Chains A and B, each alone.
Chain A
Amino acid sequence: MNDFAVVLENVLQVLTAGLLVGSIYALMCVGLGLIFGVMRVINFAQGEFLMLGMYATLYAFTGLNLGVMLGSYIGPIVGALIAGVVLYFAGLLMHRYLLTRVTGIRVVGSEGEGHYPQLILTLGVSLILANAGLIFFGSMPQTVRTPLSTTAWEIGPFIGDHVSVFLNKARSVAFLVSVAIAVALYRFIGRTRIGKTLRAAADNPEAATYMGIDVDRAHSIAFALGCAITAVAGGLVATYYPFQPYVGLDFVIIMYAGVVLGGMGSIVGAFWGGLTIGLVQQLSTLVLPVQLQNAAIFVVFLLIVLIRPEGLLGRNVERT
């Protein structure tokens, strides 16, 4: 195999891996983006909801013996969906008992200062959840183990016997589920009555209130749904990525990067943003040592916020 073929194979491999991983990042970004889009709240604890989603999937998968009952394709997916439902209710509770004190219609319209209490409150929640996770789950890295985690489909070879692309089965399944859920959510928000409520509450909470829309309820649904979606994404990640209770922090930066890149407030943008971050992360492995992969994401994130804080798809709005 000549040099060109090696490079080509690496690039193709990295691109497909980026696409697969990126789609899952995209799903978690959609969760964060939904919350921000509707409530204008940055949920610092989103990473911890992802982590809880991973553990919920793990316990559902092993506790209900889903692997045996439903097989290694369907089993983890059902586990992740169960995790989503569980975290939906966790999100409802958190919104009801904590966030309503620092969010809602008073804060949505204000810029800057009014948002810090939310950020700081959710930082507190994030610390509690991550460390409580350590207490209850232990620090041992875990995965949702199926035969799929370590097997792959081969596509190719394209040139003679060379240049094949390997699709990790677990990641590929996760990719399909992510895209399906994202599309379902898109249609849900676009077409259903609840979806319209969410969009109205996001667009102009005050006017929505005058039109008889319960904005607090809309916030509550958006927050819970955002947590659930990120938790499902966590469950999908858990099938190929070892995790421990502090894993949230790594992913929360990925989510911020994706959401900012897509333009804060846009759910579709969040999806493309997350996908891009996945590609960037995988492509960085071509030139950077593996230990610096996460650092690369932080640097990309910084570059995005510094150079184009309104996001690639966002509009530039000037105000005085």
Chain B
Amino acid sequence: MSGLRHGWGKPLAGIAAFAAAYLVVGLLVQNQYYQLMLTLVLVWAVMGLSWNVFSGYSGLISFGHASFFGLGAYTVTLLLVKFDITPWIGIPIGMVVGVIAGVVIGYPTFRLRGHYFALAMLAYPLALLYIFEWLGYQEVSLPMKREAPAAFMQFADHRVYVALALGLLVLAMLASLWVERSRFGLSLNALKQNEAAAEAAGIDTLAWKLKAIMISGAMAAAAGGFYAVVLLIVTPVTVFGMLTSAQALIVTLFGGVATLWGPVIGSLILIPLAEILHAELGHRIPGIQGVVFGLAIVLVMVLAPEGVLPRIRDRLARRSKPLAAAPQVDGPVAIAAAARRAPAGEVLLRVSNLSRAFGGLRAVQDVSFEVRKGEVLGIIGPNGAGKTTLFNLLNGFIRPDAGEVTFEGERLLGLKPNRICRLGIGRTFQIMRPFPRMTVLDNVLVGAFVSERDDDRAVAAARQALARVGLAARADSLASSLTTVELREMELARALASRPKVALLDETLAGLGSQEIDRLLATINSLASEGLTIVIIEHTMQAMVRLADRFVVLDHGAVLARGKPDEVTRDPKVIEAYLGKKWMANAQH
């Protein structure tokens, strides 16, 4: 089942029911303190959702969401104080500031991965904190507007704030739901699990990350702006401080990361707990809130790293239904018959004088060849000949030092992998790069987004691609449960789903048994006879002779020979490269 195909009805009903119930409670509560707490729970739930939309789905952990929260809070506050602009307008302006901050922070920082990204995100709010202190905004209070309080979002009846916060939460949840249930969420999930594979499959990873942080920034800024309105006072430490960033992350991870309800549940549990303890013990035990949040996150990481909500769901699911048996794999496939193919047509891909060195190692030197429409070109060569580097140059993972690649007359140099994929060059990997925690269908769906703008049609295209490689029966299995040959087939299907004109297959047959090789060769042969142009890397000649129309032989990064299979396999230079000089001497006698 695909992540895209869940209906919207159930979650929408859930959100409506939750909002109605919360509103009833909010209206019944008379005590101002509890009204404030009900409001804050929602503010932090929005903040958690904001963090989740970005970090939860994309896997890029942000330690700096206070940047957006604080900028929202200060935008609303300063607009009101300096220009007399009501928060009704100030909050939307704050959200725009949040979006801009998302781009300004995201664009340079997305070049970083892992640790570096998390640490860099930490520095932004802390720098902002000191800058706002230096600007003299240590403590700014929102002026009371007695003449027209409602016009300035000031209400004597604090239940109005609960209702407003609830509205904000519903909007944030709808935005999250839209992200989660569309290609947006699936693309983020794909780049979370394997960024290189997502790029190669045509996902513009930078664009999706930017979109995610823009939405996230707007949500956090709205939460911050509203927080300022409710508390009527803003200080750099409360809005830009470490605890603010940490709380966004903690309520989400506590409730359940990358789930719609996780941040809401985390916030419902942790915020009242921290607030009540603070109110009861705060004067004697300062800092109790921080201890609560710290303990909460430590306990969750140690006891239930996936969060409270998924843990409960798992329990319930395990009780209600036993796991369905995995579907049987298809039986052995008939041995590949060398299919008749149309004669090779015009040049699709032209590689001219391509070179790339890593330090002193010249991995690819002065390589030129062309790929004609409809042919199967085998690139062979011993280990370390530069074959995979050549593919990485062709699909944009690395840039050449010199040379030129053109595809249908268009220059490819400098294009990102996702652009090259969109132009019609699909690829698979020698070391397989599945998205392990996604279903097989979703894996392939990621590739189908390139060819189909409509999500439903993309699902159909993905199913079709799975059928072409004979993997339709495994569509709903998790990719991590597949065998090696099935993973190879799935990568092939992912490449096919983008409807490529050329498919680059990197040692697709490596590590397979002879039956499996036969099965995969049959598949590749049938793709070729359907008219797909294929460039395939192998170092075992035997299999390649049955598949390729033409060979390019690489050795030490340079082209050693090229031509028809029987010519190349008889070429003494090729035999020498494969078997060594000594063997050559023996062969001649």
Interface flag for A131 (CB, 8 Å): yes
Interface flag for B22 (CB, 8 Å): no
Contact: B302 with A42, CB < 8 Å? no
A120 to B114, CA, bound (A): 13
Residues of B within 8 A of A117 (CB): 301, 305
Contact: B294 with A131, CB < 8 Å? yes
Residues of A within 8 A of B109 (CB): 306
Can you list 10 A-B pairs, Cβ within 8 angstroms, ordered by A? A112-B113, A113-B192, A116-B59, A124-B297, A124-B298, A127-B243, A292-B131, A298-B124, A305-B116, A306-B109
A131 to B109, CA, bound (A): 30
Question: Which stretch of A11-19, A132-140, A172-180, A190-198 is in the interface?
Answer: A132-140
Residues of A within 8 A of B192 (CB): 113
Interface flag for B392 (CB, 8 Å): yes
Contact: B301 with A102, CB < 8 Å? yes
Fill in one digit per residue for B96-128: 1 if any A CB lies within 8 Å of its CB, else 0: 000000000000110111111011101110110
Interface flag for A213 (CB, 8 Å): no
Interface flag for A104 (CB, 8 Å): no
* Complex interface residues of chain B between 247 and 267 (CB less than 8 A to chain A): 249-250, 253
Contact: B120 with A305, CB < 8 Å? yes
Contact: A127 with B127, CB < 8 Å? no
Contact: A139 with B286, CB < 8 Å? yes
A268 to B64, CA, bound (A): 29
Number of interface residues of B (CB under 8 A): 51
Residues of B within 8 A of A139 (CB): 286
Contact: B298 with A295, CB < 8 Å? no
Residues of B within 8 A of A249 (CB): 126, 242
Q: Which of A120, A132, A135, A245 contacts B253 (CB 8 A)?
A: A120
Contact: B246 with A123, CB < 8 Å? yes
Interface flag for A126 (CB, 8 Å): yes
A190 to B448, CA, bound (A): 54
Q: Which of B114, B291, B298, B305 contacts A115 (CB 8 A)?
A: B114
Top 6 A-B residue pairs of the complex, sorted by shortest distance between their CB atoms: A127-B294, A131-B290, A131-B287, A128-B294, A134-B287, A298-B127
Given the interface pairs A130-B287, A132-B291, A292-B130, the reply to whether A121 lies near B115 with Cβ below 8 Å is: no
Shortest CB distance A266–B (Å): 15
Residues of A within 8 A of B293 (CB): 124, 127
Shortest CB distance B361–A (Å): 12
Interface flag for A294 (CB, 8 Å): yes
Residues of A within 8 A of B398 (CB): 318, 320
Nearest B-chain residue to A264, judged by Cβ:
B115
Nearest A-chain residue to B133, judged by Cβ:
A291
Given the interface pairs A98-B302, A113-B59, A132-B291, the reply to whether A127 lies near B112 with Cβ below 8 Å is: no
Shortest CB distance A176–B (Å): 31
Shortest CB distance A296–B (Å): 9
Given the interface pairs A128-B291, A128-B298, A305-B120, the reply to whether A318 lies near B131 with Cβ below 8 Å is: no
* Complex interface residues of chain A between 133 and 179 (CB less than 8 A to chain B): 133-135, 139
Interface flag for B134 (CB, 8 Å): yes
If A125-B294, A298-B126, A318-B358 are given as contacts, then 20 extra A-B residue pairs at C-beta distance below 8 Å, sorted by A number, are A101-B301, A113-B192, A119-B118, A120-B301, A121-B297, A121-B298, A127-B243, A127-B294, A128-B298, A133-B287, A134-B287, A135-B285, A253-B123, A256-B122, A264-B115, A291-B134, A295-B127, A298-B123, A306-B109, A320-B398
Interface flag for B36 (CB, 8 Å): no
Given the interface pairs A98-B302, A305-B112, the reply to whether A130 lies near B290 with Cβ below 8 Å is: yes
Interface residues on A, range: 35 or more
* CB < 8 Å A-B pair total: 142
Residues of A within 8 A of B116 (CB): 260, 305, 309
Interface flag for B77 (CB, 8 Å): no
Shortest CB distance B109–A (Å): 7
Q: Chain A interface secondary structure, helix, strand, loop or mixed? A: helix
* Complex interface residues of chain A between 184 and 216 (CB less than 8 A to chain B): none
Contact: A127 with B115, CB < 8 Å? no
Residues of B within 8 A of A70 (CB): none
Interface flag for B229 (CB, 8 Å): no
Interface flag for A55 (CB, 8 Å): no
Residues of B within 8 A of A292 (CB): 130-131, 134
Contact: B131 with A295, CB < 8 Å? yes
A127 to B243, CA, bound (A): 8
Max count, chain A CB within 10 A of own CB: residue among B115, B126, B196, B302: B115
Q: Which of A111, A131, A134, A318 contacts B114 (CB 8 A)?
A: A111
Q: Which of A121, A135, A294 contacts B302 (CB 8 A)?
A: A121
A112 to B302, CA, bound (A): 19
Interface flag for B208 (CB, 8 Å): no
Given the interface pairs A130-B290, A298-B127, the reply to whether A120 lies near B249 with Cβ below 8 Å is: yes
* Complex interface residues of chain B between 281 and 312 (CB less than 8 A to chain A): 285-291, 293-298, 301-302, 305
Interface flag for A299 (CB, 8 Å): yes
Q: Which of A124, A128, A132, A256 contacts B301 (CB 8 A)?
A: A124
Interface flag for A301 (CB, 8 Å): yes
Nearest B-chain residue to A298, judged by Cβ:
B127
Residues of B within 8 A of A113 (CB): 59, 114, 192
Fill in one digit per residue for A97-112: 1 if any B CB lies within 8 Å of its CB, else 0: 0100110000000011
